[in-house]
Structure 1
Amino acid sequence: MFVLSILLLIAAVVLFLVGRSRDTAGLKLGAAVSAVAALLAGTFACVHVVSAAEVGVPVTFGKVGTPLTSGVHFKSPFTDVTSFSTRPVDLDLNEDDTVEVRSSQGGVLYADVTIKWAVVPAKAVELYRLAGSEDAVESRLVLPDSREIIRNVFAKHTSEEGYASAREQIGSQIADLVKERLAPRGIDVTSVNLRNVKPSKKLQEQIDKKIQQEQATERATEAARTAKAEAERKRIEAEGIAAANKIIERSLSDKVLYNQCLDAYKEAAKAHPVYAVPCGTDSGGTPVIVDNGKN
């Protein structure tokens, strides 16, 4: 803008001189318009407007000045102002930017992470010196540091912890370390969201194989437990039967057996009125004739 004002001023002088020498009113009018335009261009070159939620870093001949807050500021026409947004920005590490990490066991995992960060206005000068622009802040500071921390944290955990049991703990560790790393540089990290962790194809095959082996082991253990329980049940049952037989053996006598024999054949004699009962009280067992008709 300042260069434009100089060119317009030169054009105004030339037109004025030519118009005066030729006494041409049109050229004189053109000279006046060029002079006004040069004045306006020069004024705009000395004014800079910083938008809301932005901070400007003025640089004059390589010297960095005090940060400019939102509003209208007057500056030297030789001063360039680089603006940084102070609004939170989302850095999405997913799809093509997914972070490939390795567990402590060497398994490959893919982590999707979203990092919300913003420039601290008071640290804008330091960020300008480190990066040079807002885009460079993300590409040179936030992105590489975040990737490094994510990989380092996952490397301390097993594959199972990484994709299942310790995801919340890992996400919290990543957030704390990213904030700690970037805060001194003037980058305020408001949140780190570990949204998804997916094992690689090879690791997934290993996981499936391990699950199948665990299931087979559980089935074998359950079968052994069932067989042991069944053997114990049969042993107890056999012991009970043996104990009962001993009790019966001690309580039975020849007379008791004789009476039980008679009772049994009485029932049989109901179908056959006369029935020979081979019961007796001695070892020979004298037969007894049971006549159900005569009782």
Structure 2
Amino acid sequence: MLLIVLGIIILLVSYFVVRTNYQLNRYYSLANIFGVVIILVGASTAMVKQIEAGHTGVQTLFGKVDNRILESGLNFINPLVRVTMFDIKTQNYTMSGVHTEGEQGGDDAIRVLSADGLEVIIDLTVLYRVLPNQAPRILKEIGSDYKNIIVRPITRTKIRDNAVYYDAVALYSTRRDEFQGRIFKGIEKDFKDRGLVLEQLLVRNITLPQSVKIAIESKINAEQDAQKMQFVLQKEKQEAERKRVEAQGIADYQKIINTGLSKQQLQYEMIKANKEIATSPNTKVIIMGNGSSGTSFILNDK
């Protein structure tokens, strides 16, 4: 486009200069040829537009948007049109409390109020893309800065609108997936109405107030102590059961011995045991007495 304007300027300048100074008439034809060549070169380059892969082009002529899109590759166009590029690949928009992670500089995390009136800080990433056939409508109704006009405000508003239905602890733990699914549906619908496709919504981090964190940690510690005490009680109960079984076994053994052996048999077993002791190399003499009969036995291996 610049070359076309330059060529037209050369033609106009040569025409007015020749009219005011006839001595330069001999250069008039040369200037005209030079101007025409520049216009042709500019027109040929302006008529060919290359669209990169993953992009689409939208044409505007004097402010009017053409609904026909330019696909990736080489396209022949009107040299007077202006082409606006739209990225149709998957894009992400991150809002984070970490200064180096978000799209905006500084702390860009989303601060919401939960159902119990506590402030919860949410870090979020939105994955989305532009529908190629909706690019002309986006340019016409929204403009090329759809990230800051549509993606950012809609996402932040939907999160705040839905967070009020959940307690802070529920958002952090038990109902986190439900909360993420709920805001996904709301954002998906609004994006679709404006020519965008919401692919995924990633709740990266939920930060609770310090007082709630301390309460949760105390509860977890109490639960762990209760589980530990339950384990100790269970172990003591098992040990008591083991001792009871052991005592019952001993009692049963003694009962069997007392009822199954006669006095004479017990005396015989005692003599036999002492005899074995007496025959031991370390035992020389054993004196054994019977308390009831007063008899004594002397056993000697010599």
Query: Do the structures match in fold with TM over 0.5?
Result: yes
How far is 1:9 from its partner? 5.2
Please give the TM-score of this superposition, normalised by the length of structure 2.
0.67
- Once the two structures are superposed, what CA deviation does each residue of 1:136-161 show, in whole Å capped at 9, x if it has no partner? 11221223334455664897654235
Matched, 1:32 2:32: yes
State the distance in 2 between where 1:207 and 1:153 align. 20
SS in 1 for 2:231: helix
Measured after TM superposition, the shift of residue 231 of structure 1 is: 0.9
Question: 1:212 and 2:214 equivalent?
Answer: no
Cα offset for 1:195? Answer: 8.5
1:125 shift after superposition: 2.4
**TM-score (normalizing by structure 1):** 0.68
Q: How many residues align?
A: 276
1:58 to 57, 60, 65: 60
Structure 1 residue 88: Cα displacement: 0.6
CA distance in 2, matches of 1:82, 1:146: 29
Is the Cα contact below 8 Å between 2:5 and 2:39 reproduced in 1?
A: no
Q: Which residue of 1 aligns with 2:290?
A: 278
Question: What's 1:73 paired with?
Answer: 77
Tell me whether 1:287 sits opposite 2:294 in the alignment: yes
Which residue is equivalent to 1:16? 18
How many angstroms apart in 1 are the aligned matches of 2:18 and 2:251? 136
How big is the shift at 1:82? Answer: 4.7
RMSD: 4.4
Q: Does 1:84 align with 2:85?
A: yes
CA 50–184 in structure 1, closer or farther in 2 if over 3 Å, else same: farther
User: Are positions 1:121 and 2:122 aligned together?
Assistant: no
Q: Paired residue for 1:282?
A: none
Partner of 1:139: 148
Work out whether residues 131 and 137 of structure 1, in 8 Å CA contact, stay in contact via their aligned partners in 2: yes
**Cα offset, 1:49, TM superposition:** 3.2
> 5+ unaligned residues in a row in structure 2: which ranges?
103-107
Distance 2:10 2:46 in 1: 16
Matching of residue 159 in structure 1 with residue 168 in structure 2: no
Mark the CA change 1:50 to 1:263 in structure 2 (over 3 Å): closer, same or farther.
closer
Moved more, 100-109 or 179-188: 100-109
Gaps of 5+ in 1: 280-284
Which amino acid in the other structure matches residue 268 of structure 2? N
Q: Distance in 1 between matches of 2:227 and 2:9?
A: 88
Q: CA deviation at 1:257?
A: 3.7
Contact 1:56 1:82 survives alignment (8 Å): yes
- Between the aligned residues of both structures, percent identity stands at 20
Distance in 2 (CA, whole Å) between partners of 1:39 and 1:175 is: 53
Aligned partners of 2:196 and 2:135: how far apart in 1?
Answer: 9
Distance 2:21 2:37 in 1: 18
Structure 1, residues 243-274: CA drift from partner, whole Å, max 9, x if none? 22222232344333433444455456554546
Deviation of the 1:227 alpha carbon: 0.6
1:202-233 residue CA offsets vs partner (Å, 9 max, x unmatched): 47666654443333222211111111111111
Judging changes above 3 Å, is the alpha-carbon distance between structure 1 residues 242 and 31 closer, same or farther for their aligned structure 2 residues?
same
